[in-house]
Amino acid sequence: MAGVAPLTADEAAFFRALMEMVASLRQQLDLDLIRSAGLTANEYSILRCLSEASNRECRMAELASAACVSPSRMSRLVDDLRDRGLVEKRPISTDRRGYVAKLTTAGVERLNSAWPAHIASVRRRVFDHLDPAILAIAADALSSVAATMKEGASGLTDPACAGGGGRIAR
Amino acid sequence: MAGVAPLTADEAAFFRALMEMVASLRQQLDLDLIRSAGLTANEYSILRCLSEASNRECRMAELASAACVSPSRMSRLVDDLRDRGLVEKRPISTDRRGYVAKLTTAGVERLNSAWPAHIASVRRRVFDHLDPAILAIAADALSSVAATMKEGASGLTDPACAGGGGRIAR
DNA sequence: GAAGATTGAGAGCTCAATCTTT
DNA sequence: AAAGATTGAGCTCTCAATCTTC
């Protein structure tokens, strides 16, 4: 870790703006959703994923990956949504290890009543401030960054990140 | 909330990519930092803010705002860093309500040993995949989005977000 | 043994209440 | 009464361990 240059001014500004913006955004969207629909952003995300899935149902692991939530978290979130009648959960016939979550009628209705306010909120907070022309390009760039993190995740074997300052925490 | 159009394909792709990318990024940077320096991303952020402040010290509220952390969280984070000898905390003479956190020598050293690996990690995971030419433009756009959320935060009085689907949770 | 899913324990974070000083 | 800061309670989330089925 000898010759590492600090971030350039542009890089630092971009990084800071990105993190700050997304932090505020997540918090704000969560509040908007809770107020307008009684759903957290995670819960909304799960209902939306299910509504887009074939037969409105989805295996737990697949759902977790689609909604960007860990399997253990998904387990508790789905149980909670089930307790509130918005999804049902049943074992799969073909693989006795697995479960599917399925959107109930109440879940469909809740999502239908929730999405217009949510979309309006997203528009107002994000897309009203952005140039539509750059969206497609930016989405590609962001996806490629995300993709490299999902695969090469660990970084343990990469000299660029393993060496650092000593002491292993946790 | 009558005539709300769904997101366009570009908008949805952008939004999804943005959220996914930042979620992975935060998690990854946290892991890299914990492994290489024994610091969480929040803790690193606090040390970095202090190192850039005049006299390497900063009031709690200001520090919280600079590091994008709530005041109550900052209170506990600083106490924890103090217990580990990386900052010290003392009352302000001019305002007996306030406290300042100040980077200790050990804190400076820890930060110095931590940043090269962290910067390398940020570079490798983000900037190696992005076109430098768009950074300045993108940073401006992101900042403007973030800015509107920090002020007009609530949205309570805005018809676009208040009406939604019923039921107030929490 | 590996994969799907859940659970217990504990860390991270936020909200509302509190205490002190202004 | 408002501002700075902290605290208690409770929710969110993750890690590692577990149980079952493949």
Taking only the tens place, the pLDDT of each residue in B68-78 is: 999 999 999 99
Quote the Cα angle for B98-B99-B104, to 5°: 165
Confidence check: pLDDT of A170 > 90 = no
Confidence check: pLDDT of A162 > 70 = no
Cross-strand pairs, B88:
B102
- List, for residues A24-59, the tens digit of each pLDDT value: 999 999 999 999 999 999 999 999 999 999 999 999
Confidence check: pLDDT of A168 > 90 = no
Confidence check: pLDDT of B91 > 70 = yes
The amino acid that residue A106 corresponds to is A
Distance in angstroms (rounded) separating the CA atoms of residues A39 and A110: 9
Q: Which nucleotides of C are covered by protein (CB under 7 A)?
A: 3-8, 12-17, 20-22
Specify the pairing of strand B57-59 against strand B99-103: antiparallel
B38 at A interface, C-beta within 8 A: yes
Q: Which of the residue ranges A113-117, A140-144, A154-158, B162-166 would you say has the lowest mean pLDDT?
A: B162-166
Closest residue to D12 measured CA to C1′: A73
Strand runs labelled E in chain B: 57-59, 87-91, 99-103
* Residues in B 127-146 with any Cβ partner in A closer than 8 A: 127, 129-132, 134-136, 138-146
Element (H, E) at A73: helix A71-83
Return the pLDDT at B149. 78
Residues 101-140 of B with CB under 7 A from strand D: none
Distance in angstroms (rounded) separating the CA atoms of residues B7 and A132: 12
Q: Which two three-digit tokens encode residue A36? A: 């307008």
Of the pLDDT bands very low, low, confident and very high (cuts 50, 70, 90), residue A157 is very low
Q: For residue A54, give the DSSP letter.
A: G
Chain B hits for A158, Cβ within 8 Å: 124
